[in-house]
Structure 1
Amino acid sequence: MTAYVPFAEPSFGRAEEEAVLRVVRSGWVSTGIEARAFEEEFAGYVGTAHAVALNSCTAALHVALRAYGIGPGDEVIVPTMTFTATAAAVVHAGATPVLADVVPDHLTLDPDQVKSLLTTRTRAIVPVHYGGRMALLGPLREICAAHGLRLIEDAAHTLPARDGADAAGRVGDASAFSFFATKPITTAEGGMLCTDDPRIADEARRWSLHGLSRGAVNRYRPGHPAAYDVDRPGFKYNMSDLAAALGRAQLAGADRLHARRTAIAEVYLRELAGLERLELPPPDTAANRSSWYLFPVRLRAAGAVRREAFRRRLHTLGVGTSVHFEPLHRFSWYRDHAVRAGQTFPVADRIADTLISLPVFPAMDEAAVARVVAAVRRAHDEPDPSRDGTRG
């Protein structure tokens, strides 16, 4: 590590280097045997019957919605505390995103508010496992069963996580994982759709590759016919073998990477406890385990101005941070198209401006972790930088 601790950095080693070189030397870098192997290995790791490798988690959400026939005239409920991609995928499918508030402890979808937002047009609920902690899937699953709705997990943050007997990615009708550069495992850019339904997996494959009945690897090689059918105007969402090989190497070390993130989180929970201006995330329990993709702290009695001043101070002390998330209902497009008349989001609005995500990535050595702890303590103990009369 350098003197500056960035918010995130990928954790690559010799296994990743050799995986990429293997594909480069093979003569085939697009979607082929590596992508198929990655799908099988990932499905086995998550515990689903099928997995479809794609170029993003957004693509996975999009094709899942299309595979279930969700489109114009339909509504899909999503939390306001999420990245835009969750709701944007609903829009790409032609449906209408309906924003819901979150529960205050884990910042995941509030089942009670979901119930109040149901209409005859509601077709699906997309809970987001925020920061690595699973959403309240039990109550949401009951809502879906009672109203004939699809439950599609946005599990971008949550490899691996558990809540009792439930594991992220295998509770809903389908689930979407992200392999973006900062995620628990990475392919640089990429995603995966998981499901136990073979029809949905097949539909997702068709939608993900132009609607073709057969991919290039099955048409270009000797002894394979060139003919194929196009039964829909699909998308270009397939994952390359180059990315898949990187993902396979990362997946093989997923438990080790998770153990390291957990160890870093445990240091933060111990060393930052008792700081009166900071509220720390809840620790793991025997029944509930986070992936620790994020370590989001809350700056008590803060607004956006105070929060940004605290982040700037950490930056000058050599620590990068981020914010997860600005609620969707505050963005102009969603405010105009996804918020119902008179709808409010009291939990998201109360908490969003207090959130700061600290670095928690496996490549951090002990010195880097100690540097973050020292910087947070120093920034916390300094006078409030917003006492110049500016209000957050």
Structure 2
Amino acid sequence: MIPVMKPWLGEEEATAAADAVRSGWVAQGPRVAEFERRFGERVAAPHAVAVSSCTSALHLSLHLLGLGPGDEVVVPSFSFIATANCAVYVGATPVFADVEAEDGNVSRRTVEAVLTDRTRAVVVVHQGGMPADVEPLQALCQERGIALVEDAACAAGSTYRGAPVGVGAELAAWSFHPRKLLTTGEGGMLTTTDPELAARARQLREHGMSVSAAQRHRSRKPVIESYLEVGFNFRMTDIQAAVGLVQLRKLHAMVERRRALAACYQDALAGIRGLRTVRDPEHGESNYQSFWVELGPEFPLTRNELLRTLADAGISARAGIMAAHRQPAYAGHPHGDLSSTERLTDTTLILPLYHELSDEDQRKVVSSIRRAAGLKAAS
């Protein structure tokens, strides 16, 4: 099968992980600190705090904002369910906003439609690496005294108005899951412009301790730590960070290759009746963490039929982004108009795209789609 995604891992990562094991320091330590520094530099964030997952980073962000029962957090339904779950973790209520059909992201228009006097925060997701138009959302949130959190899980290497996605964000969360460009197996990062939020996040990720475990181990004197508040175990290991440091050096090459592959898809699938390919918005450039297409009523197959056709041809594609409000966990959860979300969830699919995808395999994907559309295979 041609996989839908495959991380770009090799001997460098294996050696880096083995070196961390041989060092005897495998928990959060010096490699984590270096990974934080280098990742922060790459995304132009003054402060970066490594954590166990992007979900942990989002959870921590909403906790840092002091959200709780009675507060509402606007989130897209068109996102992995963790985005909504993090509001529930702090006792707040997620309120689902619709997305724009062109890029699958929330906008000022869709967010403004669901704001109430209980709204305390908005989470904007850069879905599939596609940069959301953040400036209008920042203006809206500033006008209303609402916090804006960026879920940049998929967006390392994407740009917004010529700068890295997440630049200037008070709080942004990143993922290093294997489906993302950069992977540490599991893992995430919280970035912020606020040094006080960063300092508190470092304590909270480690049970709220006044002195980190790494500082205690480095000290030549006895250290008696105290626990300043109820915290979490959201730490990253040095083994993960060692892999992350190698991956970070590859990021530029990853983005270049994925954008080249995306351009090939866009050219090869252009003109197919009833099929639309995702494209960069005017305000930024995607890293194409996911390359999705939308099928209209003119396409001869439904989305699920095309998925089965591709699978029969040895191609692993995926249904488009989930609609969280349809999941059993949110059954009966109130929401407004989510027509674009529901349409995109029902009509989009994600095609194979990864660094080592060969030209031959990409032509096979294109040819299978063209045949499904009643056209000649790609040459």
TM-score normalised per structure 2: 0.94
Residue 159 of structure 2 corresponds to residue 172 of structure 1:
no
Q: Using the alignment, how far apart are the partners of 2:25 and 2:200 within structure 1?
A: 25
Give the total of aligned pairs: 374
1:26-41 equivalence runs, <5 A: 26-41=23-38
Partner of 2:206: 209
Of 102, 119, 122 in structure 2, the residue corresponding to residue 122 of structure 1 is: 119
In structure 2, stretches of 5+ residues that fail to align are: none
TM-score, structure 1 as length reference: 0.91
1:370 paired with 2:363, answer yes
Return closer, same or farther for 1:344/1:214 CA change in 2, 3 Å cut-off: same
Instruction: Give the conservation status (yes or no) of the 8 Å contact 2:105–2:132.
Output: yes
CA pair 71-166 structure 1, distance change in 2 beyond 3 A: farther
State the Cα deviation string for residues 184-228 of structure 1 (Å, max 9, x = none). 110010110001101111121122111112222222346153311
Q: Retained in 2: the 8 A contact 1:258–1:291?
A: yes
Deviation at 1:234, TM superposition (A): 1.1
Indicate the residue corresponding to 1:336 in structure 2.
332
Kindly provide the amino acid, as one letter, of the partner of residue 313 in structure 2.
Answer: L
Secondary structure of 2:173's partner?
strand
Specify the code of the residue in structure 2 equivalent to 1:211. G
The one-letter amino acid paired with 1:65 is: L
Q: Is the 8 A contact 2:187 2:236 kept in 1?
A: yes
**SS, match of residue 217 in structure 2:** coil
C-alpha contact 2:307 2:319 (8 A) present in aligned 1: no
Do residues 276 (structure 1) and 236 (structure 2) align?
no
Q: What letter corresponds to residue 63 of structure 1 in structure 2?
A: L
Q: Write the distance in 1 (CA, Å) between the matches of 2:240 and 2:372.
A: 39
Deviation sequence 1:118-174 (CA, Å, 0-9, x none) = 222211110111111111211100111101111110001111112324531224211
Q: Is 2:239 the partner of 1:242?
A: yes
Q: How does 1:259-274 map onto structure 2 within 5 Å?
A: 259-274=256-271
2:96 alignment counterpart: 99
Residue range with higher mean Cα deviation, 14-23 or 99-108: 14-23
Question: Which amino acid in 1 is paired with 2:66?
Answer: G
**Residue in structure 2 matching 1:350, options 317, 320, 343:** 343
**Shift, 1:372, TM fit:** 1.7
Deviations 1:70-92 (A, max 9, x none): 22221110111000000101111
Runs of 4+ in 1 over 4 A off after TM superposition: none
Residue 319 of structure 1 aligns to a residue whose secondary structure is coil
Following the alignment from structure 1 to structure 2, what is the Cα–Cα distance between the partners of residues 88 and 280?
30
Task: Determine if contact 1:277/1:300 at 8 Å carries over to the other structure.
Answer: yes
Asked if the contact 2:49–2:201 (Cα under 8 Å) also holds between the matched residues in 1, the reply is yes
**What's 1:387 paired with?**
none
- Listed as ranges, the gaps of 5+ residues in structure 1 are 383-392
Q: 1:33 is aligned with what amino acid?
A: P
Q: Helix, strand or coil for the counterpart of 2:346? A: helix
Q: Given that residues 73 and 87 in structure 2 are in contact (C-alpha distance below 8 angstroms), is that contact kept between their aligned partners in structure 1?
A: yes
Which amino acid is 1:37 matched to? E
Paired amino acid for 2:370: R
Find the partner of 1:257 among 254, 257, 273.
Answer: 254
The secondary structure found in structure 1 opposite 2:227 is coil
1:161 and 1:28 mapped to 2: Cα distance? 33
1:9-24 aligned within 5 A:
9-24=6-21
Equivalent residue letter for 2:291: F
- Which AA in structure 1 matches 2:304? E
Give the aligned residue type for 1:280: T
- Indicate how the Cα distance of structure 1 residues 166 and 76 shifts in structure 2: closer, same or farther if over 3 A, else same: farther
Return the offset for 1:367: 2.0
Aligned counterpart, 1:197: 194
Q: Are 2:106 and 2:125, in contact at CA under 8 Å, matched by a contact in 1? A: yes
In structure 2, what is the Cα distance between the partners aligned to 1:327 and 1:148? 28
Deviation at residue 22 of structure 1 after TM alignment: 1.4
* Alignment partner of 1:324 is 2:320: yes
